[in-house]
Each structure stands twice: as structure tokens, then as C-alpha cells.
Amino acid sequence: MKRRLEIGLMRRYSTSMNIPRQMAIKNHLEGLNGPQRQAVMFPPNSPLQILAGPGTGKTRVLTSRLANLVLNHSYLPSSICAVTFTRKASKEMKARLYQYLDSNATEDIKLGTFHSVCLNYLRSYGTMVHVEPGFLVWDEDECILVLRHLSEKAGKDLTKDFLAKELYEMFSNVKEKVKITPGAAIDSMIKEELKRKREDHNSSAHDSPQIQLQSKLLLELYYSYSHTLRASNALDFTDLLSKGLDLLQAVPWAREVGRLKHVLVDEFQDTSSLQYLIVKELFKATRGSISVVGDPDQSIYKWRGADDTVFRQMKKDLPKTKEIYLEENYRSTASIITTAIDIISQDETRPPKALFTSYTPHGPKPVKKSLDIKHEEEAYIVEEINRIVTNSAETIDYGDCAILFRDNRSADQFSQVLFKAGIPYRQLPEPSLMEQFEVISLIAFLRLAINDAHTPMVIRALKGPLALDEKAITDLMTRSAGHRITLFDALQRVRGGYDRDTNPSCISASNLLIRILRHLRDFMHQGASPADLLHYIIEATNYHEFLMQNFTKNYSRRARNVQRTIQYAKLFKGKKELGPMPVRLFLDFMRELSRVDDFNTGKVTLLTCHSAKGLEWPVVFVPSVVDGVYPHHKSQSISIDEERRLLYVACTRAQCLLYLTRSETKLINQRGIPVEVQQYESEFTEHLLPETYQNEAPTMDTKALDLFRKILGRN
């Protein structure tokens, strides 16, 4: 019976294509080079590593291999699990799959990030590992918000050394270390972190009372944070992975759901140890039928838990693993590739891999430019951007240029330079409408009306129009953690008079929030629209008055964002039904709306090298290529080789022109006095072969522009 069902499903997928089956097979193989075709056609029942250099068409190969499994090997789409590193990569892969498969087949493939794959398993079988139905998932900002208030009660001994974001990252790393206790993990991390921050390399300091106190406070905070999540029936992002792994290990049949036959993993070099354990459970289900795609030369996330040994570990676990190399670059000029390879080849431990392009001529050599002072370096970049745009015969505009920085602070500073020069720019990541304070605080009431256990949303509402101060919120968080109840339950205790020492403002805020939520629920069950509910919240909280009092300088912009939210609520066409479902759908609609990419064409892009991974621009500038930036001055705990790989990733974002700039000196602030200090060239560029770069600006002649148009497809 089951076999007949599978045959019927396969007929649906093969006959409902818009084009004949034979043409579909030809379609997904069309235009592939030899190694790409070999990777796509490789037998699916054997483990495969596709080692794909930058710009070698890995996304095309991934989607073609997925299509080939369905079209050429009769795999049910629902039996394939494809795991990506980002939501953006999932969306891009799905969009390309629609070119080769019909919508039914594409939608049935289990395609998503590690987090979304684990989320789907936990939604179905979470109770098997003590995850209650209807659990919430707190995003990074929500977790940091909670940790900020939980850490305040620990006192200055903790908060003077650790920001809430650092605490979140530390606790995520603790959860990643599945083989050791939280106490041991925290003890190891705090010694390393405090050693770095205080620049104290004396090993005896590791046993000091201060270290012991920090470890004790952090462990207490870790458990307090864990209890807060549990009381709210919530998971953070790392919990999704660890609980997902628990499920796959404890309930082996869960991974068999849908008769999983093949696993495909994108950006394998970015996989953490915990994520690899999940992959391992999945390929147990497929009996070793797995394809991974990645590039060890682009492993730049070790600080975030990425494990650069996963390629070797996979070969150890699956000895029959084969390798296929993708080495033909379709993105960059030969000159840019030559310089990038010269940088990455300085790593003597790196397995030798080639990267080449068939584009001719070679194109202008990358520019390596040294200026006297920082101001001159900034002026040079501005001058070159204007010169390129002016002299490119409309081949290149401002939107084709990117400036890649080592950190966000440098990008912030350079944005002012472009602003003063009158050059249009955008700085990524750009905050979406749903990330604006005035929108989050408004939406918080809707989310609480559906589920008042959402502690971060309670904090948003209290800090927003209910205007409760930080100290009072921290006190409430302390009470909720002490009683192991949700923050909303703590508010109800206040309202019920159980906590007699509560200040009047807290009682007032509690009463107002509880009353508003009761009315919102009543309105929902009467069929009120999301727009009507938002209007009620604004009126009940005197929202605009709150914004005017607290945001005098930019009230107009914030009021416009509130109005935009209401307009989206009016445009939203949800089901007309009673209860919370229309609001749930509206919130989903707003979340998806905030994820829509806005490319802002015509603007220079500013972002970090880490964020630039997977992207490309015709013209790329990498400023501050000096010692202390590449490699970073904090890199004693990070591999120097990873720092080199980061610069390699930055260089390989460029399609036509690449600039590596630096200034000989910079100004630093010493006791309020600006002091000029010497800067030295990065060791990564200092030893570049002279024939791989030039010191002067490239000529924008006909020969160069013809090559650029060919690469960019703008003939």
C-alpha cells in the first residue's frame, strides 16, 4: 500500500511539470561545467563533499543536485532534507528550485536552516524530550533584553565586565558544549574572557578570588536564565538545536518521519560541533546518503562556534566519502583571484586548492594604497568612488560599490564621511520596521494578548508606554525568578497584593497592562480586526503622548512608523473569524514583511566582512588593512589563519575592482588628548607578490569596461 502511495506521488511530481520530464532533466543540467555536472550527477547513496571556492556556482550545483534526486532518481521530495546556514540562503535555493521542479515538489522538500529543521521536529515530537506544546522561541534581542535585567540583580561584580550581549553569547556557547557541565564550561570561558579584557597573562590570576566570584555569579545567572525560559515555556536559538539533537538521539524513529533518504548541508565549514551532531543523526537515518557543500578557505565563524574540523570528522565517520572540487570562478577578474589566492596561500597548513577564471583579459590589478593619515584614506575612497561612477560610461553606479569593514563601529564612522560627501549609502544590516522601538512596543500588546507568558514582550510593554523604570522591572524579574514564575504572573501577584513592598508605579503599570490585555482578548473574540486592536492600544496607553515626551527630536519619524504599522494592518487580508487567529496571522505577516530584502539600488553599501559573506559587488573597498585590524588585536584567542581567511572572503566579494587601503597613522584619545600613533601594514598584504597589485588607481579604458560588462552581464 505504502509503495503504491509513493508511486502515485512520484507520478504527480513527474507529470505535473510545466515541461516534459526529459526537458526538465536537461534544464537542470544545462550550462554546468564538468566538475559541476559530476557533483550534480554523483550517486546519491554515497557520501559526498563538494569543495566549492568563492564564485564557483555552489548554489546552482546545490539546487541542480536536489532536482536531480527527484527527477533522475525518483526520490520523493519529502524524503530530502536540505539544511542551509541562513534564511536568505533557503529562500534563494527555493526560488531556484522552482525553475526545475513544480511548486508541489519544491514545497515538500524539507528545506531550511538548522534551527527551522529542529523547530519542525520539536513542534511535532517535542513532548518526547520534555518540550511542552505551544512553546515560544525567543530571538537574540529578546534573550538579551531578559539577561540585561537578570544580570542587574547580580551587581556590579558582574555587569562591569560583561554586557548582556556577551552573556547571551557565552550562555549559547555553554549550551553548545554538550559533553561538559555548564559550570566547567563557564569556568573555562570566564578565565579566557577576563584574561583578554584585562590583558592579564599571569596564570596565577586564574585562581584569584575575583575569578571564582565571577564564575559563581555567572553560573547562578545561567541557571536563573534557564529557569526564566522554562517558566515561560520558551526556547532560545541554541535550545532549538540542543533539544532537536536530544529528540533525534532519544527518539530515533522521529528522524525517519517522511522516510528521509538524503541529507544536503550548505556552508558546511560554518557548522558547529552541535550542528554536526544533528547532521550525524540525520545521515544515520539515510544510511550515509549525504551531500555537503563548503569551502575550508571561507571558515570565518569560529568565534561563533563553527568547527573547522567537520570535513575531517565526516570522513572519519563516513570513510567512503568522496570529494569533488569546484574551482572555476564566475564572479571575479583573474587579477582579483590572483591577489586573493596570494593572500590565502600564506597559510602553509592549508590543503592546496586552485581557483581560476576563464574571463579575459585579466582586468585591472587590485589597488594596494597607503595614505599618511586616516582622513586622507577616507578622502581617497570617496574620490575613487566618484571617479569610477563618473568614468564608467554608465557601467557602474553607486549601488555597485561596497566598503567592507572589520567591525560595525568602523562602518558607523565611515557613514558620516559619505554623508558629508553627498554620496548615497546604506549600512547593513538595516533595522526593519518590526525592529523599531515604537513598533516593537506597540506589537508587544498584541503578542501578550495571545500569550502572556512571553516575558520579553512584558518587558517591552512595561518599558514602553507603561513607562515603568528599569529598576522596577529588574525588581519584578528578580521576584519572578525567585518564585520560578513568568514575569506576567509576578505582575498578577503585585495586582493581587501578595507583594506588599511593591512601589505604586509598579502597581499602576500592572493594573493597566492586565486591563488592556483583558479588553484586547474580548475584542478578538468579538471579531475586531488587527487595525482596530492597534487603535485601541494607542488610545488606551496615550501612545503618541508617550512618544512625544520621550522622543522629542525624532517624534515625527516614530509616529510615521506607527502609522505605517496601522496601514499594513489595514492592508492585511486575513480570515474573518473570531478569536486570536487573525492576530497570529497578522504578526506572521509583519515578520515576513520585515524580512523582505530591500536592495536600495543606487547606494554604496557599508557592512562588515563577516556580513558580506555570500554577497558580491562590482567594486569593493577594504579600508584599514593594518596590523591590529587584520589580524585583529584581540585575535590571540582566534586563529590567525581565520583572520587571513576573513580578508580572503572580503577580497573575493569583488567582481571587477578591488581596493585594499590603509593609513600610516591614526589618532587615538589618551586622557582626553588626541595622540597620533603609527600603524603598520597587515602581515597578510605586506608579503603580496609585487606583480599581484598596483599602487595607482586603475584606468577606466574601453578594454576594462568591456570586461566589466561581460562579467556583469551588461552588454
Task: Write out the binding residues for ATP.
Answer: 52-59
Question: What angle, 0 to 180 degrees and rounded to 10, lies between the N-to-C axes of helices 21-29 and 58-73?
Answer: 160
Rounded CA gap, 706 and 316, in Å? 48
689 CB burial (10 A radius; 0-12, 13-18, 19+): exposed
Cell readout for 461 is 510593554
Q: Please report the DSSP string for 197-248 in residue order.
A: HHT---GGGGGSHHHHHHHHHHHHHHHHHHHHHHHTTEE-HHHHHHHHHHHH
Q: In Å, how far from its chain's centre is CA 392?
A: 34
Q: What angle do CA 709, 714, 715 make, to 5 degrees?
A: 80
Nearest to 376 by CA among 13, 623, 619, 578: 623
Q: Which residues neighbour 344 within 8 Å (Cβ) at sequence distance 6 or greater?
A: 297, 350, 644, 645, 648
Annotated binding-site members: 52-59
Rounded CA gap, 561 and 551, in Å? 13
Helix (H, G, I), strand (E, B) or coil at 669: strand
684 CB burial (10 A radius; 0-12, 13-18, 19+): buried
Distances (CA, A) of 363 to 226, 400, 625, 699, 700: 56, 17, 22, 10, 10
For β-strands 654-670 and 367-373, DSSP reports them as parallel
Distances (CA, A) of 164 to 146, 167, 198, 203, 509: 9, 5, 18, 27, 25
Question: 3-state DSSP: the chain helix, strand, coil percent, rounded to 5?
Answer: 55, 15, 30
Q: H or E segment at 599?
A: none
Rounded CA gap, 54 and 653, in Å? 8
Rounded CA gap, 72 and 64, in Å? 11
Q: Which residues neighbour 184 within 8 Å (Cβ) at sequence distance 6 or greater?
A: none
Rounded CA gap, 661 and 373, in Å? 11
CB 118 within 8 A of CB 278: yes
Cell readout for 547 is 512618544
111 CB burial (10 A radius; 0-12, 13-18, 19+): buried
CA dihedral (340, 341, 347, 349) in degrees, to 10, reads 140
